[in-house]
Structure 1
């Protein structure tokens, strides 16, 4: 079994819990997720199985879309509703237009400081471990990108629902915290659902119960997506059958082993590699100065 399953992670489970569930349910050791969701968050969690676990490193780079509840007036140490309240301020009845104007400055490429309660590692140790031990850590800012941020509804005088389309590495609870600082009232994340992890949508995701049922009925294969689906932005290059062994051994492939001409490609271009209809690897265009010719260097094998 090889490919990616679009899982709907329920709240109350860690991403690793879901990996363990799939591993046990399918009897497969090679299982991995493509980007951690907080335990209390729900939503799309693509799970790679078999040789497609090698695709996880690329899927984490894809854009994500979230639906988040932001509640003003309460600041917590974890930046969500499960943390300890560190400040509480009275909030007037805020209107949607005011909040829409407030979040506008968070669009684009911005600096964000990851929360101390996170799984990011510092000197080989996860940040939340430092937090639990009461230790302070100098956390480095990093650039993220907010492509879209839209206030879509008001559910209370101080609580709103917003949709956020963002780059990898974005902490939505930190975004809520920073919006709260900008407002002057403070804020935290009160609920989070991941709607998309490109190219997957929550509309097509499977619950864990549905995975179990499909596995028992031997029909899970139809819900498993092939790994090359996620690399459609890269051109397809066909390798000759005679060069298959060389490619699988990770050797560079020169023109005699290719069915397609690659001389027009720039050095460093990523491509998809096929033998017949079988996707076997991602490759990178290299350049041999001695012969003034391009070649393909095998980057990641999927066979």
Structure 2
């Protein structure tokens, strides 16, 4: 069994709970998820099975879309309602325009400090493990990109919005940072991921509805799971060279103009999927061989 399941994770379970359940359903140990969703968050969590575990990083390296609700005037240790309240302020003096401007100021790239209650590691130890011991350590900011914030609904102190962002973005931290910008604090109270790469909520199967009898009905092939990457058909006379790791510099390789540095799904003339490849000024090479 090799492929990807577009799973909808429910609240109250960890991402690893989903992986464990699918390992049992698929009767295989080779299963991995494509980006942690907090236990109290729900939404799209693509799960890779078998040889598809080779493409986890490529699915993770894509935009995510979230629907989030947060509350102004409150701070917690976890940046969500799971933590202890550390500070409270009255945000009632804030107008809608001021709140909207603060939210919009985060569109673009910014250096985001991850929360202590996160799965990131420092010196081999996960931050949440240190946080549970009451230890707070310095975290370096990481450059993330907030590509779009839409559907902003303000009912002070409650705010809802939709966020499209780069990989590695913590929506809890975004809410916290908006609260800091407004000088009243903020805490996330609800989160749903509606899209990861080309996997959407509308096409997902709820983890509770997945069984050993129907799992194959929801298994997406490796190449289709990578549909966010453009397709490139190469001449079959060069396929063996590419498969063997050779960088090919020959204008007969393909009839398509290859963009330097862009990653493609590569097929031969017989529509056989080879893998992911990239070109530079010295030629074209397979970056990830994915022949089944």
> TM-score, normalized by length of structure 1?
0.85
Partner of 2:26: 26
The 2-side partners of 1:176 and 1:221 are apart by: 38
Which deviates more from structure 2 when the two are superposed, residues 270-279 or residues 101-110? 270-279
Which runs of 5 or more residues in structure 2 are unaligned?
Answer: none
Aligned counterpart for 1:280 among listed residues 268, 274, 278: 274
Which deviates more from structure 2 when the two are superposed, residues 201-210 or residues 71-80? 201-210
2:193 is aligned with 1:194 = yes
The 2-side partners of 1:112 and 1:175 are apart by: 8
The 2-side partners of 1:266 and 1:187 are apart by: 43
Conserved 8 A contact 2:73-2:88: yes
RMSD: 2.6
Partner of 1:49: 49
The 1-side partners of 2:259 and 2:273 are apart by: 22
How many Å apart are 1:30 and its aligned residue? 1.6
How many Å apart are 1:131 and its aligned residue? 1.4
Which runs of 5 or more residues in structure 1 are unaligned?
Answer: 289-293
Deviation readout 1:21-40 (Å, 9 max, x if unpaired): 11111112221111111111
Runs of 4+ residues over 6 Å off in structure 1: none
Conserved 8 A contact 2:41-2:191: yes
Partner of 1:302: 290
Which deviates more from structure 2 when the two are superposed, residues 134-143 or residues 71-80? 134-143
Once the two structures are superposed, the pairs formed by residues 199-214 of structure 1 within 5 Å of their partners are 199-212=198-211
Partner of 2:80: 80
The 1-side partners of 2:252 and 2:28 are apart by: 35
User: Kindly tell me: are residues 181 and 28 of structure 1, through their superposed partners in 2, closer, same or farther at Cα, counting changes over 3 Å?
Assistant: same
Deviation readout 1:224-275 (Å, 9 max, x if unpaired): 222223245334133537954x655x4316479x973489646645332224
Conserved 8 A contact 1:251-1:298: yes
